[in-house]
């Protein structure tokens, strides 16, 4: 079942945890790619030194953070290291500039296409990082600002009511050492 907009309008830490076990689905031509979300990271906006919108109080047209100022349920896709795309889901009400980074998926369908794109064979290697999952799913910056909750969206999150043993561990976020004390916050969540 497609997750509705109000799911994303909640507290960012809650959304980050509640996305675990949900299914990311991409509709591509006559193919469907899907994977269970198994790792997320929360980024809390203006006061979070690890967040792209840190100390930014309003959207700047053309700036990569512009999508973060949309209402919850909007995709925020940006490029890191000039090579890899990262897929985030904006949370809370418009103007808050908070988001959840989708760090890893457990692939479910469309594995052959993912293997071709990633040039990898093992399923565990296809979507085991934010850049890898964007490459496997071909999530580009063209998806930036896409409303994930719309039935016609080519990228959606579904609650499939899977029988998962939903044990969640939290730890500090990955690769945000520049953020000082905020780098130590346990805002990385994994489904184990």
Q: What is the mean pLDDT of the chain?
A: 95
- DSSP state, residue 149: T
- φ, ψ (nearest 5 deg) of residue 120: -130, 155
Which CATH number covers residue 143? 3.10.300.10
pLDDT tens figures, 87-134? 999 999 999 999 999 999 999 999 999 999 999 889 999 999 999 999
Query: What is the token pair recorded at 181?
Result: 């004390």
Tell me: pLDDT of 182 over 90. yes
Tell me: pLDDT of 162 over 70. no
Tell me: pLDDT of 161 over 80. no
* pLDDT of the residue at 166: 73
pLDDT tens figures, 129-155? 999 999 999 999 999 999 999 999 999
State whether residue 172 is helix, strand or coil. coil
Q: Are 79 and 143 in contact (CB under 8 A)?
A: no
Q: Give dist(CA 20, CA 13) in Å, integer.
A: 12
Tell me: pLDDT of 164 over 70. no
- DSSP state, residue 71: P
Domain range for 179 is 5-191
* pLDDT of the residue at 50: 96
Tell me: pLDDT of 84 over 90. yes
Residue with structure tokens 């561990």? 169
> How many domains is the chain built from?
1
Tell me: pLDDT of 4 over 80. yes
Tell me: pLDDT of 186 over 70. yes
Give residues with Cβ within 8 angstroms of 182, minimum separation 6: 48, 49, 50, 176
What's the alpha-carbon Rg for the chain, to the nearest Å? Answer: 15
* pLDDT of the residue at 131: 97
H or E stretch at 108: strand 98-109
Q: Are 188 and 103 in contact (CB under 8 A)?
A: yes
Q: How confident is the model at residue 38 (pLDDT cuts 50, 70, 90)?
A: very high
């Amino acid at each position: 079942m497609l997750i509705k907009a109000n799911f994303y309008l909640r507290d960012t830490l809650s959304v980050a945890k509640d996305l675990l076990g949900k299914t990311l689905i991409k509709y591509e031509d006559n193919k469907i790619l899907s994977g269970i979300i198994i790792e997320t990271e929360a980024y809390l906006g203006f006061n979070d030194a690890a967040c792209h919108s840190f100390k930014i109080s309003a959207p700047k047209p053309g700036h990569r953070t512009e999508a973060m100022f949309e209402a919850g349920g909007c995709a925020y896709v940006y490029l890191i290291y000039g090579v890899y795309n990262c897929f985030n889901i904006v949370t809370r009400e418009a103007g808050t500039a908070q988001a959840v980074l989708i760090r890893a998926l457990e692939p479910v369908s469309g594995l052959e296409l993912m293997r071709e794109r990633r040039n990898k064979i093992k399923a565990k290697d296809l979507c085991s990082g934010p850049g890898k999952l964007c490459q496997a799913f071909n999530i580009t910056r063209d998806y930036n600002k896409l409303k994930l909750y719309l039935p016609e969206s080519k990228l959606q999150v579904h609650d499939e009511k899977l029988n998962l043993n939903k044990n969640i561990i939290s730890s500090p976020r990955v690769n945000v050492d520049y953020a000082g004390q905020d780098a130590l916050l346990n805002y990385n969540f994994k489904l184990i």
